[in-house]
Amino acid sequence: MVFLHAPSVYDFRKKPIFYGPVSDVIPSSPVFEMYPIGFMTISAQLIAAGYRTRIVNIAGQMLADQKFDAEKKIKGIDADVYGIDLHWMPHAHGAIELAKIVKKYHPDAKVEFGGLTSSYFYDELIRRPEIDLVMRGDTTEVPTVKLLDALSKGGDLSEVPNLVWKDAEGRIHENGVTHVLEDLDSVIFDYGVMIKNVIRTMDVKGSLPWKSWAETPLTSVFTVRGCSVNCAECGGSRDANGRVVCRHKPAFRSPAKLAEDVANINSYMKAPIFIVGDLRQAGMKYADEFLNAVKELDPDNHFVIELFNGANAEYFKKCDRAFGGGWSIEFSPDSYDEAVRMALGKGYTNEAIERTLPAAFENGCSRFDLFFMTGLPQQTRESAMETARGAKRLWDCVRKDDDLFIYDSPFAPFVDPGSRAFEDPEKWGYKLRARTLEDHRKLLDSPSWKHVLSYETVWMNRDEIAETSYDAAIALTDAQLESGRLTEEGARIRNERTETARRIMHTIDEALTLDKEECDRRLWAIKEEGVRMMDSTITDKNDLDWKTGSIWANAPRVAVGLLKSFGRRSR
């Protein structure tokens, strides 16, 4: 089985697209070349069952090399099953185009889709001629093994849990989502899978999780699948999980197994480790057990933890004792306007945030990232602007040399299918422009991020959301300058980039009013400038990187880790 990861839009290199700030606060580019962790865990499960796998990041290679021929690459890969992720909605265009290419060159192979978005739009997907199978659910490692068992041994596909499939006559069958793990201890998280994949295929670029990963690697351990929090706009919320993947309560990985994952990563590399999910979500006993286990391991990796609400000095002291290689925090209040935050379902106050910040830095936190958004329920233009201006108050809560980074980006490009806001948009003040998968696919092929937006709100239309996003970016930069955290030259450069991005957006708006020939001419005339703006539009994306050695600097540790893994497998 080969796992293929698509760009958001295929082929973005041959289209005049201005992505804008839609990915300014995530590691990957607007091409969304970061593939999901499921590629690694499903691969590990298949390898343990005796199957061969390969991960090929088509999006990453297209982004890294303008001359990379995706069709030629896919044509040259021989597999029985091609797994394509449609986990995040922004891949709705590219994923299906890859499926068409696979069928063009490998008509007898099976094409399987999986991921959260696939699970939501499974009925629409399975009706497409280029798709043979859709695997629903969020713990599909074992079902995928059963699928390959059935395909390779002539078994009955109706016995494969979570599978939607077509028979020889093209009839569609739904097996139902019956495999929903209650805990994650049986899932194999092994970064060695990716490393061994590179060694076996000699395809370094094709295996990288995202374009710049080799230079600034970041790894992850997963505390949970599912969520106990119910944010209205989130496709991974409690309600969305129940609706999309039949998960009605979170499945946690035990503290002991999570610590094993840490040890596994540490054996291969010194890269930072992102702990996905607030450790306190399963209770303080869970958090304490994991932190104590990590303290015993004493890894030299830097750790990044998530907060879903405020935290106190006692918790941060425990983190500081456990993470000898240093630690940072990611926190997404989404808005500084408490009315907006409460409407979303985040039940904590600004006072809680303002207490959390100094408590973290006073107890060992080396860096704190705080994220706000524009385009939320109950959010007016003034509310969004006050959020950006309110950043100064937050910076003033901590010392000048404390590394507090505050980001403000548009809620883009889509309202998550399955979220409460998507299912009942009027209640949350949304006016949706896309309901089906095909609706979203068509929007992705638009020339400007503003025209890709799948929504407006009763408080702001698309034009107002876009303009306010840029205005808020300038207000945030000004607040950072006033707080003494940015030089006048740095502020000038950032605000100039923001205004350049705004000008490109306006140029596209004007071009779209013209006839097709003149429109295309004007769009192509600004493509190169748009590409230069792609990685850092309204922020400095380098701020997101943790200072660490490249993957190549970890080569000796990787070699030792591989030897240990072979030893573990032989036992």
| Tens-place pLDDT, residues 156-191 | 999 999 999 999 999 999 999 999 999 999 999 987
| Beta-sheet pairing, 455-457 with 430-432 | antiparallel
Please give the model's pTM, rounded to 2 decimal places. 0.91
Q: How many residues does the chain have?
A: 571
Give burial (CB, 10 Å; 0-12/13-18/19+) of 2. Answer: buried
Residue 558's pLDDT band (cuts 50, 70, 90): low
In the chain, the amino acid numbered 210 is: W
For residue 533, pLDDT beyond 80: no
**Proportion of the chain above pLDDT 70, given as a percent:** 91
For residue 355, pLDDT beyond 60: yes
For residue 299, pLDDT beyond 60: yes
Average pLDDT of the residues in 322-346: 95
Residue 298's pLDDT band (cuts 50, 70, 90): very high
Alpha helical stretches, state H, 202-237: 204-207
Per-residue model confidence (pLDDT) at position 539: 64
Which fold, 218-409?
TIM Barrel (3.20.20)
Contact by Cβ (8 Å): 192, 561: yes
Per-residue model confidence (pLDDT) at position 15: 86
Average pLDDT of the residues in 117-123: 98
Q: Where are the domains of the chain?
A: 2-187, 218-409
> CB neighbours of 39 closer than 8 A, spacing ≥ 6?
3, 5, 55, 83, 85
> What does the block give as tokens for 505?
């957006």
Per-residue model confidence (pLDDT) at position 23: 55
Alpha helical stretches, state H, 12-57: 38-48
> CB neighbours of 555 closer than 8 A, spacing ≥ 6?
none
Per-residue model confidence (pLDDT) at position 542: 61
- The shares of helix, strand and coil residues in the chain, as percent rounded to the nearest 5, are 50, 15, 40
Most confident of 214-218, 472-476, 529-533: 472-476
211 vs 545, residue with greater confidence? 211
For residue 569, pLDDT beyond 60: no
Alpha helical stretches, state H, 121-162: 122-126, 141-153
Contact by Cβ (8 Å): 485, 403: no
